[in-house]
């Protein structure tokens, strides 16, 4: 369906029409949801280039397109490409929206995830500490995003061999997510797996 919509809008309005670009972005999102990363990436590159050309780099829609492409790079393990784009997205978001904007905080969390996957643990930790403090202040400790930040920082501590701090944070994440969503929720199961790994390392 999205392919047909895009083709119709390209034919009727041209490639650079905002509605055409929006249709392309929707198709990219569909590819993403289906795990068709290469097709999503190709479409997202085109959407980003069009939005940069028409609206400039500092337009919110352009920044959103860059963030989406960076996430697609992450999914493919293209960490260097993701990092480069995420650094730019974070800088733009901080400048345009401020540090406490939800999109800015998410951009910081995404960059920290990329740093972690490249073994840049000190860089990841620094950002994750800030993100966790912001989310606790703005959303509360029991918000899903805050719980996720708690677990991610705990996992970074584990990778740095700071096992006591890791256990404390991930235990909190497991307990809070269990209270919020139950034992069978995917995030609860994931965080419980983190905790099991940490406990084995700490007590073996």
pLDDT in tens, the chain (204 residues): 666 655 666 666 567 777 788 888 888 888 899 999 999 999 999 999 999 999 999 999 999 999 999 999 999 999 999 999 999 999 999 999 999 999 999 999 999 999 999 999 999 999 999 999 999 999 999 999 999 999 999 999 999 999 999 999 999 999 999 999 999 999 999 999 999 999 999 887
Long-range CB pairs of 23-31 (<8 Å, 24+ gap) are: 24/50, 25/65, 25/68, 26/2, 27/2, 27/3, 28/68, 29/68, 30/2
d(CA 18, CA 24): 10
Please, what is the Cα angle at 171 between 167 and 174, to 5 degrees? 140
- Asked if 113 and 135 sit in the same domain, the reply is no
The answer to whether residue 149 sits within a structural domain is yes
**CATH code: domain of residue 175:** 1.25.40
pTM, 2 dp: 0.89
Q: Is 54 exposed, middle or buried (0-12, 13-18, 19+ CB in 10 A)?
A: middle
Helix axis angle, 18-33 to 2-13, nearest 10°: 160
Asked, for residue 19, whether it belongs to a domain, the answer is yes
Q: Are residues 108 and 194 in the same domain?
A: no
Whether residue 152 contacts residue 105, with contact meaning beta carbons closer than 8 Å, is answered with no
Phi then psi for 186, rounded to 5 degrees?
-55, -40
Q: Does residue 164 share a domain with residue 86?
A: no
Domain assignment of residue 17, yes or no = yes
6 and 106 in a single domain? The answer is yes
72, 113: one domain: yes
Dist CA 32 CA 28 (whole Å): 6
């Amino acid at each position: 369906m999205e392919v047909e919509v895009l083709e119709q809008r390209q034919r009727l309005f041209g490639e650079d029409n905002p509605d055409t670009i929006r249709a392309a972005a929707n198709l990219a999102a569909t590819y993403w949801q289906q795990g068709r990363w290469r097709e999503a990436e190709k479409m997202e590159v085109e959407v980003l280039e069009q939005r940069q050309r028409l609206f400039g780099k500092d337009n919110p829609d352009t920044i959103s397109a860059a963030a989406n492409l960076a996430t697609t790079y992450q999914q493919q393990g293209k960490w260097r490409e993701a990092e480069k784009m995420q650094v730019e997205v974070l800088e733009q978001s901080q400048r345009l929206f401020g540090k406490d904007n939800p999109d800015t905080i998410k951009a910081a969390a995404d960059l920290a995830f990329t740093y972690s996957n490249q073994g840049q643990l000190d860089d990841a930790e620094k950002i994750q500490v800030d993100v966790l403090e912001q989310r606790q202040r703005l959303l509360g400790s029991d918000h899903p995003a805050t719980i996720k930040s708690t677990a991610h920082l705990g996992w970074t501590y584990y990778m740095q061999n700071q096992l006591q701090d890791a256990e404390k944070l991930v235990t909190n994440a497991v307990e809070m997510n269990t209270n919020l969503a139950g034992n069978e929720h995917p995030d609860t199961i994931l965080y419980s797996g983190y905790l099991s790994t940490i406990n084995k390392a700490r007590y073996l």
